[in-house]
Amino acid sequence: MIEYLSGLKTTLHHTVLGQFPLLERAVFQLIDFLTGPVTGVGTRLHWFAILEALGLAAVVYLTGRQVRPSGGWRGFIRYCFPKELYTHASAIVDYQLAILNTCFGFFFNVTWRLNTVVFTTLYLSWLVALLGPAPHASAWTTSTLIGATVLILLAEDLSNYTFHYLGHKIPMLWQLHKVHHSAEVLTPLTAFRTHPLEYAFAGAWRSMFSSLAIAPLIYFFTGPPSTLEIFGIAATLVFVGGLGTVLQHSHIWVSFGHTMDHIICGPALHQVHHSQAPHHWDRNFGVIFSFWDWMFGTLVIPDAPQKLVLGLAGETRQPHGNAVAAWCLPFWEMVPFRHKIVDMLAWVFGPAARGLAERMNLVRPMAESHDSVDPAVRF
């Protein structure tokens, strides 16, 4: 299929589309996104991870922990893909953002130079300055490759934890991260409900951490580590998919038990992270491993499945009613004197200007205090 898609892109390039490079790039990235679950190219929803998620969902369904199994395989499909959830207005915004970010999110990639190659090269130069020329003395074996894979995975997951934590604590980052937390229902595509600028910052942050593991490996071993594979699929993808990461953004409650929940960030722990309940605020920042939360005091483990109210606490209405609002509103909310701007416009143009600003979610309605703060975050 990859060869077919390559041929399709070549054909499209020789049409009028090829005369518009940015549009061509957007179309090609959309093709990769839509076919990614099958090809494994440029996607977080690999077909094998989806199968693993369905397997976990089947265990939950058949054991009757959340719902009494009925209706055979059709009942299972209805359980996994409830119409009212996947057609919810919040889910529609997920789909819009997934497409918009895929096609045009590169416009926000202001950190494109801060990648793994740059950081690895920098760290290698420091190692050479401290220890001398790289010895490249150690050869790669299966055991060292496994160790390197685990080390890099831990570094990347620590970067995920720390960046996620900062996203809740730094006001500017929170305005971007609020786009993700404004989701009122969770579907696997909610993982793509991310502001593209936040994605750019997160990518640079992740590269900085992963390079801390990669640089010493290149310094001491004979070249960079190769990718461990299981039946042609990256071992890390198989491992992470088996933990149910696809279900982290879903209605399917999967917990690995009180003890393992201290180590593995299963779907239930992340679903709690999206809760509006005050005792769930600023908890469970981990992505793959929850022991980061355990170590730093941000872990909360529910005793039993809970019916969670999702979204931004303190908001009387959805601030991100469409993908364009999700892109634009965070920048407006970063302006410290935005209320004064609206007050001035209302003074010049009358109450209609304020009413328009309220309908566009630029300010809170007059019934709410200008000084009210989203209680989901405490700076």
DSSP at 230? E
197-218 confidence digits (pLDDT tens): 999 999 999 999 999 999 999 9
DSSP at 318? -
pTM of the model: 0.88
262-317 confidence digits (pLDDT tens): 999 999 999 999 999 999 999 999 999 999 999 999 999 998 888 999 999 887 78
DSSP at 234? E
Distance CA 257, CA 268 (A): 10
Tokens representing 182 are 């404004």
pLDDT (tens place) for every residue of the chain, 379 residues total: 788 888 998 999 899 998 999 999 999 999 999 998 888 777 778 888 999 999 999 998 888 666 666 667 888 899 999 999 999 999 999 999 999 999 999 999 999 889 999 999 999 999 999 999 988 888 888 899 999 999 999 999 999 999 999 999 999 999 999 999 999 999 999 999 999 999 999 999 999 999 999 999 999 998 778 877 776 778 888 888 889 999 999 999 999 999 999 999 999 999 999 999 999 999 999 999 999 999 999 999 998 888 999 999 887 788 899 999 999 999 988 988 877 887 787 778 777 777 776 666 776 665 454 444 443 443 3
Distance CA 148, CA 143 (A): 9
Nearest to 282 by CA among 303, 261, 298: 298
Nearest to 254 by CA among 66, 97, 70: 66
Answer yes or no: are the C-beta atoms of 57 and 79 closer than 8 Å.
yes
